[in-house]
Amino acid sequence: MKHNVALFLILLTAFAVSGCAKHYCSVGENSTFGCHSYNPIEKPESSPTVLLRSQSITKDGLEVSTAVLSDWESVEIFGLDLAKERIQPVWINIKNNTDEPYYLIKTNTDPYYFTSNEVATMNHQTFAIDVNKAIDSYVKNKSITRHIPPRNEASGFYYSTWDPGVKYLDIALYRENDLKHFVFRHEVPGLKLDYHNIDFENLYKEEEITNIESCEELVEVMSSIACCTQKKDGTGENDPLNFVVVGEPDVIFGAFTRQGWDVTETINVSSVWKTAKAFFTHNRLRTSPMSALYFYKRSQDIGLQKARSTIHERNHLRLWLTPYVYQGKTIWIGAVSRDIGSYFTWKTQWKTAHAIDPDIDEARNYLIQDMIFSQSLKEVGMIKGGIIPADRDEPHVNFMGQPWWTNGGRAVFIFDEEVTSLDDLEEFDCDPD
């Protein structure tokens, strides 16, 4: 009996100590109870994260400001490792300078958001009743309210689901017969992303840029672009360039982010390790590095992906900024495909490659449907030319020896800064044929 009691006390002590060891402290008001402590920042709105990285939009008497916390900033401000629970706090400040009350529609920004009680409970400490009460109080008091009275201001945190690299926010404010959208796109510190290596402002010289004004000329130019990605020296035919994107960069990539497309990490020791781990554990990795495909004698400017259940299955796309501008908007050429497996090969640096769905039009058509529901498209359509049609019996073959076939269509997406309903979406139909 004595041995059992002693063993129980040892285990109880070890359990309590391990509970103390897992929590974080930061500069702020100190709440210490025994071996437990809770040290959040008392005024997060004054932190450098909120002050220096916040973005603001003013519209019709409403001013909305937002800032997104990185993993380590969540620890610093909340004194809790929220990212471990896949929680990403977003600071929101709303100034209502109108004579009507507005309401924040939280589900519009993230239908899977966390309540303050969820966040607090998920981060409770073991055997620390008073500390847990302090956590409950802080998380609750620092959360944003739904109701913004007229001539008033509301601020606080919104507890969203965790997103790596880039965070898209659509802040919706509602009153009777009126709904306002405030769209933000934040880069979240912590990852080295592929497009960080590209100097888009100086990618082309001024004399290299061609302005296009008519849709007929746009069709002609986009149809004349080579069918496929190439070798680094500009030769050969690899995967097809099967879509065109036209619009302001922030609008374009805000739409992709809203639809769940994640950015891509550069290939480095950290990203390769995470990729290898996901490969062997059959887990998904939302920001997995992409192999280089080439066009304009350079690898993709931006890689985006939609991870599915495992790293072996994902939709991914690559984009290149072209030297063309359509009615003042940038034009991008892209290649989209669907990964349906992976395999070992001696043809790549990392000795692995993804197998693509050979029905390449399926990925293109998926992208069309996905972008239609982004509510950012003004026009969408299809052009012919540039890609030679092929079928299952006589397919094209890429550099990895994988077959693919297509009807030869190249999707065209014209984006608009204003939110566009499905009823207002127009068909891009300007084919001179």
Q: What percent of the chain has pLDDT over 90?
A: 58
**Residue-level pLDDT at 4:** 53
More confident residue, 94 or 17: 94
- Residue 148: name the closest of 69, 63, 88 by CA: 63
**Residue-level pLDDT at 114:** 97
| pLDDT above 70: residue 215 | yes
**Residue-level pLDDT at 288:** 74
Can you point out the beta strands (E) in 69-213? Answer: 87-96, 102-104, 147-148, 152-161, 166-175, 178-187, 210-212
Mean pLDDT confidence for 342-351: 52
Calculate ∠ Cα 114-117-120, nearest 5°. 95
CA dihedral sign of residues 271, 272, 276, 282: positive
Mean pLDDT confidence for 99-114: 95
More confident residue, 218 or 257: 218
> Are 405 and 431 contacting, i.e. CB atoms less than 8 angstroms apart?
no
Helix, strand, or coil here: 188? coil
**Residue-level pLDDT at 431:** 55
How does residue 276 score in pLDDT terms, banded at 50, 70 and 90?
low
| 254, burial (CB in 10 Å: exposed 0-12, middle 13-18, buried 19+) | buried
Which tokens in the block code for residue 37? 């402590």
**Residue-level pLDDT at 423:** 85
Mean pLDDT confidence for 101-124: 95
| pLDDT above 70: residue 277 | no
**Residue-level pLDDT at 7:** 45
CA dihedral sign of residues 113, 60, 54, 47: negative
How does residue 281 score in pLDDT terms, banded at 50, 70 and 90?
low
| pLDDT above 80: residue 17 | no
Q: Give the whole-angstrom CA distance, residue 131 versus residue 114.
A: 21
**Residue-level pLDDT at 433:** 52
**Residue-level pLDDT at 27:** 34
Q: Which uninterrupted H or E stretch holds 108?
A: helix 106-109
> Are 113 and 160 contacting, i.e. CB atoms less than 8 angstroms apart?
yes
In tens, the pLDDT along 300-338 reads 999 998 876 555 567 889 999 999 999 999 999 999 999
| pLDDT above 80: residue 344 | no
> Are 87 and 124 contacting, i.e. CB atoms less than 8 angstroms apart?
no
Q: Give the whole-angstrom CA distance, residue 315 versus residue 337.
A: 6
Mean pLDDT over each residue of the chain, to the nearest integer: 84
Helix, strand, or coil here: 253? helix
Q: Give the whole-angstrom CA distance, residue 81 versus residue 75.
A: 5
Domain boundaries of the chain, sorted by first residue: 22-187, 194-428
More confident residue, 245 or 384: 245
Mean pLDDT confidence for 137-151: 96
| 124, burial (CB in 10 Å: exposed 0-12, middle 13-18, buried 19+) | middle
Pairing of strands 396-397, 403-404: antiparallel
Mean pLDDT confidence for 127-143: 94
- Residue 288: name the closest of 309, 310, 269, 264 by CA: 264
Calculate ∠ Cα 291-333-292, nearest 5°. 10
In tens, the pLDDT along 284-298 reads 666 677 788 999 999
CATH number for the segment(s) 22-187: 2.60.40
| pLDDT above 80: residue 353 | no
| pLDDT above 80: residue 12 | no
In tens, the pLDDT along 354-379 reads 678 999 999 999 999 999 988 889 99
**Residue-level pLDDT at 275:** 59
- Residue 219: name the closest of 36, 2, 381 by CA: 381
How does residue 402 score in pLDDT terms, banded at 50, 70 and 90?
very high
How does residue 189 score in pLDDT terms, banded at 50, 70 and 90?
confident
Q: What percent of the chain has pLDDT over 70?
A: 81
Distance from the first to the final alpha carbon of the chain: 92
Q: Give the whole-angstrom CA distance, residue 134 versus residue 35.
A: 15
How does residue 250 score in pLDDT terms, banded at 50, 70 and 90?
confident
How does residue 20 score in pLDDT terms, banded at 50, 70 and 90?
very low
| pLDDT above 90: residue 420 | no
